[in-house]
Structure 1
Amino acid sequence: MKKTRRRYFLALMVAVIGLILTVCTYLATDIYNKDDVAVITDHAIKDTLVEKSTDVYGNKDETRKQILHLKVLSGKHKGEKFTTTNLYYPSQLVTQKYRAGQRIFVNIKHHDPAIQNPKRDWVLVLSLTVTVALMVVVAGRQTIGLVVSMALSWLIFYLVIILDVKLNGSYIILLFSLADIVFSFFSLLIVQGLNRKMLATWLATLLGTFVSFALCYLIMQLTGESEIKYEMGDYATQDPRGIFLAQTLLGILGAVMDEATDIVSSLSELVETKKDLTARQLINSGRTIGQEIMGPLINVLVLIFMSEALPMTIIYLRDNNSLGSTFGFTLSLGATQSVISAIGIVLTVVFATGCSLLFLEEKRRKVRDEN
């Protein structure tokens, strides 16, 4: 009971500190170097219709104009007031509608303010506050390790991207393969500590990731990579095929490490609590656990992929493209990555269960030593 109250108290403290940081971030104006911060001073923005349009497929849209009165809050134009216009489409696919009192970034040249984008950094701080507070409620002291692990993962990812840019994508597969090894090792090390369970989880993760990737890469080579439209990816500066494969490596790792951790941790506890456990029982238990979590994990991957591709899919279908063309242009790459990750999830059940046999052998060795 005391531990529960302590968790709630710590979560409340995190929430209060986070809300204070959110307010400070919202009010911050002089910490940005590139653009100035301005606020829309209108209480009611004048919004008028410029024109209506209908394309050949019957899709209707409008072009609307906002007249915005701005007050600059930072930079050499601090305190000055400007009037500008903003053209937007109600669909807001590539344009932005602004609200009264909203803070925005502007670039002022020759006393003409150009709106860049809304000031959203405070939203990120608020989201992190809610996330960490909930983690404290659920995980307690382990939250520190989880937060450190996430921060380290972001740092490693940033360094990998910088190195990839310097190498101009020359060794992108090798680079992200090494990144997978480093990601998984430090993530598991910080959360679980350096022990036999962590090493077994790490081994199962690496086997699941690289075996599934190698298997799918072999299939792609045997089929000539037909119908994989790499050019449909949003890539501008590097080889789209290499970036697709790098994305696939990271995607497999995320799904596989989650599953390997669940299976190895569960079987480790089972070995510790059941004294007369046999290898066959351990294998059956691992298979049962895998059957329970495979489905939800694969469904999560599919749902994430669908939610990411949904906007472009709707646009292609509304432009009278066939379902086959739409799939090729918007869904083929994501579907391929989902299938590869799903194969990794299935294989990881075998690898995680096999690695967990090390716990049983270690326990038997200790029993023999005691006797």
Structure 2
Amino acid sequence: MKKKRLVFWLMACLCLVATIATYFNTNYRSTIAVVTSAKQLSAQVTKDQYENRDRIMTQRLTLRVLNHQHRDQTYVVKNNYAESQLLDQTYRQHQRVFVQIRKKQLNIVNPKRDWVIVAIISLLLLLMITLIGRKSWRILLSLLLNSSLFYLVIHFDIQKNGTKTILIYSVASILFASVTFILYQGFHRKMVAMLTSTIMSLLVAFGLSYLIMQLTHEKGITYMAVSYATQNPRSLFLGQTLLGVLGAVMDESTDIVASLGEIIHHDSQLTGRQLWASGRAIGQEIMGPLINVLFLIFMADALPMTILFLRNNNAIAYTFEYTLSLGVLQSLISAIGIVLTVPMAALAADIFLMKKRGADQ
């Protein structure tokens, strides 16, 4: 217990030092300044043709440059921002920002937020160490490897310009699942059952959905609603869908196989029919919350644009088509994967755990 506390406080100190060091770090190519004074000057109410009201605020900011050739020089600028802060924002005293200085004029580019990211990662590390313990390093390693893999997948997809999306993201999904399960679970029969049920559920669910899309000629699917598409929006949507289904089925497959594994371990007289019934009962308890969670995640992602469309007097049908339709479709495809995971996980548990137990006996 004392050792755990020592590790926790050591990590807490390291995380605090890392956060503070990142906040005060000025070793960047870009010019950094700190807001030494922020004073509110005026506020003006505005209204557009759709009766949307907002207030335009004006600040007077005093900034001191912290690095490069203009170091220690002071500049005074005005910052105009909308109270809604949709496209701009307010600045506070002691806040650090990236700036550009041209012809003796300073322009704020964006706030310096890297220290916030370090603080959030530090909090995550401390929570993991406290709640998970020794397995924390496995989770962190899997996150790092999956992040590196995701970076490579994105670059490969850009090189192919979205021409082999299904193949690229199918292989990527299998690799994501394999890295996660092998690193965190270790290599044993239960892990193989989890991985097998995850991959089978993913491929069958996406395959069925894609078949339906082909049979209906993808009518009613508004790919133009994909935001900031720099390649074929259809390929981006399919890649998003594959990764979304993977997250759903991985979660459910782990829960069902782990639960069935414990049941098999404690009940030596368990039959295949009883195992199937147990897997179905567990799945029924999990499916409802999982489907609703996914639906809420997709809808929450589209909420800002939905409100923006409706506030600008767009019809509900038009708003749904261009802000919510793709999220609903992804939710439905993920729901198919969640439903299929129940029999897949029970079948995998029967093959890799029940029959292997019978062979050992």
Smaller-chain TM-score bracket: over 0.9
Percentage identity across aligned positions? 46
Counterpart of 1:12 in structure 2 is: 9
Q: Which runs of 5+ in 1 are unaligned?
A: none
Q: Where do 4+ consecutive residues of structure 1 move more than 4 Å?
A: 5-9
Q: CA deviation at 1:133?
A: 1.1
From 272, 282, 287, the counterpart of 2:265? 272
Q: Which moved more, 1:313-322 or 1:328-337?
A: 313-322
Q: Which deviates more from structure 2 when the two are superposed, residues 246-255 or residues 292-301?
A: 292-301
Can you list the C-alpha shifts for 1:138-188, whole angstroms capped at 9, x where unaligned? 211111101111111111001111122222222222111111011110111
Structure 2 gap ranges (5+): none
Alignment pair present for 1:130 and 2:130: no
Judge conservation of contact 1:230–1:240 (CA < 8 Å) in 2: yes
CA, structure 1 residues 345+47, in 2 after alignment: closer, same or farther (shift >3 Å)? farther
- Aligned counterparts of 2:229 and 2:184: Cα–Cα separation in 1: 37
1:9 is displaced (CA, Å) by 4.4
Q: What pairs up with 1:1-371 in 2 under 5 angstroms?
A: 2=1, 6-30=3-27, 32-33=28-29, 35-42=30-37, 44-49=38-43, 51-358=44-351, 359-367=353-361
Moved more, 178-187 or 132-141: 132-141
The answer to whether the Cα contact below 8 Å between 1:12 and 1:133 also exists between their aligned partners in 2 is no
Q: Aligned equivalents of 1:74 and 1:276: distance in 2?
A: 72
1:213-264 per-position Cα deviation (integer Å, ceiling 9, x unaligned)? 1111111112221221111111332000000000000011111111111111
Quickly say closer, same or farther: Cα 1:263–1:9, change in 2 above 3 A: farther
Secondary structure in structure 1 of the residue aligned to 2:69: coil
Tell me the distance in 1 between the aligned counterparts of 2:6 and 2:253: 33
Q: Write out per-residue CA displacement over residues 309-342 of structure 1, whole angstroms, 9 at most, x where no aligned residue.
A: 1111111111122222211111111111111111
Q: Write the distance in 2 (CA, Å) between the matches of 1:68 and 1:193.
A: 55
Q: Secondary structure at the match of 1:101?
A: coil
Cα RMSD of the aligned pairs, angstroms, is 1.4
For 1:202 and 1:38, the matched residues in 2 are separated by 50
| Structure 1 residues 297 and 9: alpha-carbon distance in aligned structure 2, compared to 1, 3 A threshold | farther
What is the rounded CA distance, in whole Å, between the counterparts of 1:110 and 1:353 in structure 2?
69
How many corresponding residue pairs?
360
What's the CA shift for 1:73?
Answer: 0.9
Please, which moves more after superposition, 52-61 or 144-153? 52-61
**Paired AA for residue 38 in structure 1:** A
Deviation at 1:291, TM superposition (A): 0.9
User: How much does 1:357 deviate?
Assistant: 0.2
Please state whether the residue corresponding to 1:70 is helix, strand or coil.
strand
Structure 1 contact 37–74 (Cα < 8 Å) conserved:
yes
CA contact (8 A) 1:8 1:137 kept: no
SS at match of 2:17: helix
How far apart in 1 are the matches of 2:244 and 2:9? 34
Q: After the TM superposition, which of the residue ranges 315-324 and 208-217 deviates more from structure 2?
A: 315-324
**1:110-129 superposed Cα distances (whole Å, 9 cap, x missing partner):** 22222111111111111111
Residues 11 and 134, structure 1, Cα contact 8 Å, conserved in 2: no
